[in-house]
Structure 1
């Protein structure tokens, strides 16, 4: 028999001769019983916690259900409440706050077939808000169509130019916008581009403003309030055309001048008699205005233009 087998047999004999400690069975049994008690205690705690959680959850669900019943009941009982609720605009995610450079800012994405479906009006923290909505095939767009906003003074105006647009259903909201004490007028501006709409908001006093582009759903939130810094009543000199009807003639003249002076701000404006004119330039001195007037008359001999003195609001 080899040594490995002998060693193994010797270990087996020693194992058989080992005596178990006294009360070993009792210790094992007690340990098992203690483990069972701990398990029962833990189970009771868990069940108790679950019951408490279940009770709390039921209370929340009951309260929510009751609130829903009251809410639906309010809608059914008060059509006015329901209609007012429907007027609250749903704002989406902030894309950016517009930064104006030389009175101009832009944003949005290239689209086609958009409808400016409405312009909601509301007051938020004492500020007037006009919310421009973008729809496509009867549903809200996720992203705003490409746009440009132009701010001007004397008088204070915001001109909106929105591309990729085929409809301006928001025309019916213009009268409501004019109910704001800050607004003097709002009107569409003619354009030769059949996939662009333009409209102007004219304000009654010096304003501070912020415009936010939103997504999902797409909108432009125009927030306006009276400026805390009154504009200095300085005279300026506006080079402008004579009044003319709204139509293609006005748009052709505007495009002609813009092609010649692409960096110049050409501003279509309305008169109280529903006629329009083009503001070609607004300068700080009469001498500069005369210089511009002479230049324009030399370039466009038949153009009827003159200088008009203006003051801050």
Structure 2
């Protein structure tokens, strides 16, 4: 990871306005990197660390591509999109996760993600596609299925190795913890998250290029109707690849440009990260004013009485 001489600047503030009067505030940090890991601009501190959460999923999906699992079981880009997803558990999405298991000859009972509250099947859990992908890789390589979530399991070690290679650092230096779904997630700097998404979007790797194509061609699989990632990728028509993570994480790559944006709402607020994403994408020219207006109507105008306002800009280095 290459840092500039100055990687700290004023952070952004998201204000909730009720009929124009400030009711609440959120502090948000953001970093833009290129695909060589260089910090290009920042709001806050580029070295702020957080768990990457579900924004890691496109890189966890690399295990499916680099092991020949996709070809072995005849999986499609739509399957790849659900592997990268944090979905809503719709019938279509749950069936897509099931399709991966069916093609890999893995019984759905092998899934170890939770059953969502009020639901009946683990296939309806938002991470079921990712888990199905890990199980498919394990089937392809004849690795144990029952322990696929353990950090020392070969599929998890393979994923960690791929991420470590992308960030050019030893795998042993990563700090890991269990995500809510039971799979490992990692504690990393915002600049590292931005660098990962810059590489994802750069087009320099055929495997990552296919992941981007799958996500941008099937945005409904990645999140769902009305969800930010789906709407942004649909509006940008393949120019942006976007993936949310829990606790205020949002990562976006500019396809073909080798640039990545990572956002962290410090209090974990979902509404704050979306407001900042729209604000910064417009500032950087990654979306048009009309796209920004469309997104703002959904994610910044909360109702007739409340709206979000973002104060601050990225500082160029």
State the TM-score bracket (shorter-chain normalisation): under 0.3
Q: Which has the larger radius of gyration?
A: 1
TM-score (norm 2): 0.27
Structure scoring higher RCO (CA < 8 A, sep ≥ 6) equals 2
Judging by fraction of residues, say which structure has more helix: 2
